[in-house]
Structure 1
Amino acid sequence: MTPATATPMPTRTGATRAASTHEPSISVVGPLRPRYDEILTPEALAFLTELHQRFSARRHDRLADRMRRRFEIGNGHDPQFRADTAHIRNDPDWRVAGAGPGLEDRRVEITGPTDPKMTINALNSGAKVWLADQEDATSPTWKNVIEGQLSLRDAIRGELRFTSPEGKSYEVTATETPTIVMRPRGWHLVEQHMQFTDRTGRTMAASGSLVDFGLYFFHNATQLIENGRGPYFYIAKLESSEEAKLWDDIFTFSERYIGIPHGTIRATVLIETLPAAFEMEEILFEMRDHCAGLNAGRWDYIFSMIKNYRGRGARFVLPDRSQVTMTVPFMRAYTELLVKTCHQRGAFAIGGMSAFIPNRRDPEVTEQAFQKVSADKKREAGDGFDGTWVAHPDLIPVARAEFDAVLGDRPNQVDRQRPDVHVNAAELIDVHIGLPVTAEGVHANVSVAIRYIEAWLRGLGAVAIDNLMEDAATAEISRSQVWQWIHQDRSTEDGTRITREYIEGLITQVLEEVTRSEGDRFDDAAEIFRDVALGAEFPAFLTLPAYSRYLVESA
């Protein structure tokens, strides 16, 4: 396989020379399909090379920090608010940059992957913001990574059209489209279809974060500014203010690289890991020149709690996933603290996504979804959130009505302070819910995880399963609960011990229950599930082994 190298010499001949002289370079080793050259230009790859040369070592340092912190929590050292950054929390004067053009009103944001059809549907949805998701709602196939960038490029220039295999045509018809906020992959993910060679001659897989961010920013920042918006990003999976500082330095360098003013980029950080909940103010501070706000990433946050406390004994074991709602103690404390923190620093607080979705073929399911989403959004608006997420266009009016009732004509409620909120460290890890694990809950976890992984292996990252919208985060909860229940010797409410053998029986049952078809990936999905839920070790993310084993293509 001959790599196509684009920096500093973009030809295939240049790739050999770059390696021999140890010139930093990015090589494309994935297959090059029609129009990929419009994204993988020599100039764009030169920019990616600069990002990797300057920041990839720090990325590895931050990932090592994560492992060390997780080890400490697992060995009994509960997270605390940091003493060395108390001066940041105690300084009342600093504020974040806040909203950029087009981000002043974020009361309803729709989330979804970036394939052409979903891009068009999102832009026609009537939401205020579209989270263009290259992360948990996208299976990171090479096709999805690059063709998602093409969809965004075309949409930003008003050129996106799509015709389905059935001959149905799609185009953007809305006179006012949502502001695009793009979500790149988290720091832990790599892009194996691109390789970075550093000055020492060492070659490694590119960073998924830098690839997603770099290609989108390089191709679209100037056009977005001309459109009256800007290059805006959701930053996922952060665990510390040092990780936030790394992103802020990347933003500053990138702005300077293409010649736009410092602070043009706006980032909204997802607080979706337990360590990050203890550093909300520090994260805002490190990103203050580029930060618009924080988001309560509820599903990954639950997963993070399980991951960090998976071996700490029975009192940290959660019940059925369906019982871990936003009103249980640790989730309530985290969201209350997030709103208070954001508003005292001039930042937006954006609520999370309720998993319930309508079913246009089943009015009863749809009505139940509307009622549950309405209650969820009423709580968020009442708590002080400035906006929220939905995963389906039909839920936009439901969510908007609840925020309209609180906001009225105001674009947000950033000026609403919460002096009544006082959250301590113990409350952030109070997982006592007092409900049992049920046989139905265990079966649901096995079934949902296998069905989601099967779809993910076929290139689908956001999947409707049992009238819930599942993505990588909810699949992570399902498999991590199974792992914890086994290793903490839990039993179901009816007295059945949750063992590997018991789960193997459920895997067999699920494979018998699903509808099989030629080319399905259920056997591969079951294999992945066994690895990440039944193994002696706990993989940090199920997507890491699944990606390396099944999604990497050869040119």
Structure 2
Amino acid sequence: MFPADVPSVHVIGRPTKNAVEILTKDALEFLASVHRHFNKRRKDLLVQRQEKQVLLDQGALPSPPPEYAQIRGAPWKVRETPADLQKRWVEITGPVDRKQVISALNSGASCFMADFEDASTPSWENMTNGQVNIRDATSGTISFRRPDGKEMRLRSEGVATLLIRTRGWHLDEKHVVVDGEPMSASMFDCAMYMWLNAKTQVAQGKGPRMYLPKLESAAEARLWADVISFCESYIGIPRGSSCVTILIETVGGALEMEEILFELREFIVGLNAGRWDYIFSIIKRYRATMPALPDRAQVTMTVPFMQAYTTKLVQMCHLHGAHAIGGMAANVPNRKDPKATEEILKKVVDDKSRELQDGVDGTWVAHPDLVPVVMRLFEQHLGGGQVHQKHKIPTARVSFSDILTFQVPGGRITEKGARVNISAALQYIACWISGQGAVAVNNLMEDAATAEISRAQLWQWLRKGVVLEDTGRVFDKRTFAHLHHEELSALRQKAAAGTLPGGRYLSQAAALLDHLVLSDSFREFLTTEAYVQLPGQWNEGTQAKL
């Protein structure tokens, strides 16, 4: 039994020290109020996603929502960007564990996005401990004692601006049940973060700072605006204290960028090019009608439909006064291999130089060693006290057709690419089940987004019966089974040698990957399929006893 007792609210996560500390009676009453006001709308919007999917599968093409005709291209602006978010040159991202939070805030980056979503396994302990870690970071009291006895603390100056990323609308927080329904994970993350930090942040002259992921429409943005307004009012902070940045990582979101900015204009300060989830969204939403995409390494930001997406993002942001934040540099420098690191840094410099030329105001990196490299690029490109490029508004007209023509000139589908997808997905899923939400694989930081691309491509290639160009083999169930077996065997050898994180969960990962790839229907999200496999987590039997 959880210590705090609120009628019709059941906490079925373990009553750990941190969970008991933050989930007080008042906090649970607040969570229940948020749920009761907004969960039905959330569920209705999720139904609308599936209704749209039926039409897309039938070959229907989306069109601009007519109710927003008057705001398109009009001279309205989003809210003013506060001082702590003016300079966003280099943003580092990572999970919400205590050591990582301190390291990222001390990395020299402009901002740190503490990720409750793609870089974190949503175990009860990870989510509740993460909330405590963010609270302590906000107050400046966070510390961590390393195994060697050295204590880590925030440095006295130059600490990155802290933002959190909530989980998406599609996810439930099944350890908190309100009126017999699991709470929305998005609302749990947002509400708990604001409950624990908002008053402190306002007293510091700031306010809540959030990234919101995986929106697919302006209607979903409107729901977020209402949730945040409600939370501000309930907690008792000035209206408009909160700032949000939206990750444009779905095709639906890309087609309605301007409308999303408009619906959140009271809170929004930027859009981010969430490139990996965006490619996954393309395959998921247009799976029935699009050509098979080539090996994921070939789907770069320079292919026409990805360039159109970037151009529109910069254009819409700068037209309406918001920051345009570039995509992730997922490369991880290898400190034991100087030659590999040299090649990695060249790729990062080329990628970020292209983004700067496109007009972005900031960008993402996954590793602290990349922070000074990318920071120097921004200093060289901007300089002279300039902190953003909002004066640069691309003039190119980007049409729906530009965004929806999924062609990759010269793209190839290969056995090597299939093996990379299988191995990366197996390694990531095993780590995810073990409780680790981000893992370096072959000098790339893999998180849920890259694992989603991997399994989605395998599903798509199998359905279309593509020919693997480097071997001439048809990618059918037999070929997939053969490659899967070989890659799994190689990983098991590493696990036996103790060199593979999450190796004990390889069998579960293999079974889940089979399920995702061989299923006749496309499974919406890997993470929802894997959630019930987390050790010691919520399950149907637990729910039935309430």
Q: TM-score, normalised by structure 2?
A: 0.94
Deviations 1:212-245 (Å, cap 9, x if unpaired)? 1111110101111222332011010000000000
* Equivalent residue number for residue 44 of structure 1: 27
- AA in 2 matched with 1:456: W
Post-superposition offset of 1:68: 1.2
Distance of 1:283 and 1:258 partners within structure 2: 25
* Equivalent residue number for residue 26 of structure 1: 9
* Equivalent residue number for residue 90 of structure 2: 108
Post-superposition offset of 1:497: 0.6
* Equivalent residue number for residue 191 of structure 2: 214
2:212–2:246 CA contact under 8 A, matched in 1: yes
Deviations 1:186-210 (Å, cap 9, x if unpaired)? 000111111111xxxxx11111101
Distance of 1:174 and 1:374 partners within structure 2: 30
- AA in 2 matched with 1:436: R
Query: 1:158 and 2:140 equivalent?
Result: yes
* Equivalent residue number for residue 531 of structure 2: 547
Distance of 1:418 and 1:343 partners within structure 2: 9
Query: 1:468 and 2:430 equivalent?
Result: no
* Equivalent residue number for residue 233 of structure 1: 210
Question: 3-state SS of the aligned residue for 1:155?
Answer: helix
Decide which of 524, 538, 547 is 2:508's aligned counterpart: 524
Distance of 2:348 and 2:438 partners within structure 1: 18
Deviations 1:43-70 (Å, cap 9, x if unpaired)? 1111111100000000001101111112
1:346–1:415 CA contact under 8 A, matched in 2: no
Distance of 1:51 and 1:174 partners within structure 2: 36
Distance of 1:159 and 1:75 partners within structure 2: 55
Post-superposition offset of 1:93: 2.6
Decide which of 181, 185, 191 is 2:173's aligned counterpart: 191
Question: 3-state SS of the aligned residue for 1:262?
Answer: coil
Deviations 1:242-263 (Å, cap 9, x if unpaired)? 0000000011111111111111
Q: 1:541 to 1:71 in 2, by over 3 A?
A: same
Distance of 1:263 and 1:467 partners within structure 2: 41
1:98–1:293 CA contact under 8 A, matched in 2: no
1:193–1:552 CA contact under 8 A, matched in 2: no
Distance of 1:141 and 1:37 partners within structure 2: 16
* Equivalent residue number for residue 21 of structure 1: none
* Equivalent residue number for residue 35 of structure 1: 18
Query: 1:389 and 2:364 equivalent?
Result: yes
Q: How does 1:127-206 map to 2 (within 5 A)?
A: 127-165=109-147, 167-197=149-179, 203-206=180-183
Question: 3-state SS of the aligned residue for 2:29?
Answer: helix
* Equivalent residue number for residue 487 of structure 1: 463
Deviations 1:52-98 (Å, cap 9, x if unpaired)? 000000000110111111221121012222333211214x2311014
Distance of 2:144 and 2:294 partners within structure 1: 44
- AA in 2 matched with 1:189: L
Distance of 1:451 and 1:361 partners within structure 2: 21
* Equivalent residue number for residue 323 of structure 1: 298
Gaps of 5+ in 1: 19-24, 198-202
Distance of 1:524 and 1:281 partners within structure 2: 42
* Equivalent residue number for residue 57 of structure 1: 40
Question: 3-state SS of the aligned residue for 1:193?
Answer: strand
Query: 1:76 and 2:59 equivalent?
Result: yes
Post-superposition offset of 1:549: 3.0
Name the stretch that deviates more: 153-162 or 121-130. Answer: 153-162
1:114–1:133 CA contact under 8 A, matched in 2: yes
Query: 1:446 and 2:422 equivalent?
Result: yes
Post-superposition offset of 1:298: 0.3
Post-superposition offset of 1:324: 0.4
Q: 1:354 to 1:507 in 2, by over 3 A?
A: same
Post-superposition offset of 1:279: 0.5
1:337–1:423 CA contact under 8 A, matched in 2: yes
Distance of 1:116 and 1:325 partners within structure 2: 33
Post-superposition offset of 1:390: 0.5
- AA in 2 matched with 1:328: V
Gaps of 5+ in 2: none
Deviations 1:357-377 (Å, cap 9, x if unpaired)? 101111112111111111111
* Equivalent residue number for residue 349 of structure 2: 374
Deviations 1:399-422 (Å, cap 9, x if unpaired)? 112222222121111122222x21
Count how many residue pairs are aligned between Structure 1 and Structure 2.
529
Decide which of 375, 381, 390 is 1:406's aligned counterpart: 381
- AA in 2 matched with 1:549: Q
Q: 1:551 to 1:88 in 2, by over 3 A?
A: farther
Question: 3-state SS of the aligned residue for 2:194?
Answer: helix
Question: 3-state SS of the aligned residue for 1:102?
Answer: helix
- AA in 2 matched with 1:164: R
- AA in 1 matched with 2:416: E
* Equivalent residue number for residue 535 of structure 1: 519
Q: How does 1:252-267 map to 2 (within 5 A)?
A: 252-267=229-244
Name the stretch that deviates more: 405-414 or 337-346. Answer: 405-414
Distance of 1:287 and 1:551 partners within structure 2: 38
1:448–1:465 CA contact under 8 A, matched in 2: yes
Deviations 1:381-403 (Å, cap 9, x if unpaired)? 11110000001111011111222
Question: 3-state SS of the aligned residue for 1:317?
Answer: coil
Question: 3-state SS of the aligned residue for 1:84?
Answer: helix
Distance of 2:80 and 2:439 partners within structure 1: 33
Deviations 1:163-182 (Å, cap 9, x if unpaired)? 23454432222512111111
Distance of 2:389 and 2:473 partners within structure 1: 49
Distance of 1:176 and 1:104 partners within structure 2: 15
Deviations 1:114-170 (Å, cap 9, x if unpaired)? 100100101110111110110101111111100011111111112111123454432
1:185–1:209 CA contact under 8 A, matched in 2: yes
2:123–2:435 CA contact under 8 A, matched in 1: yes
* Equivalent residue number for residue 268 of structure 2: 291
2:434–2:534 CA contact under 8 A, matched in 1: no
Query: 1:430 and 2:414 equivalent?
Result: no
Distance of 2:53 and 2:150 partners within structure 1: 49
- AA in 1 matched with 2:297: S
Question: 3-state SS of the aligned residue for 1:496?
Answer: coil
Deviations 1:437-458 (Å, cap 9, x if unpaired)? 0110001000000000000011
Question: 3-state SS of the aligned residue for 2:84?
Answer: coil
- AA in 1 matched with 2:273: A
Aligned CA-pair RMSD: 1.5
Distance of 2:275 and 2:128 partners within structure 1: 28
- AA in 1 matched with 2:23: L
* Equivalent residue number for residue 507 of structure 1: 484
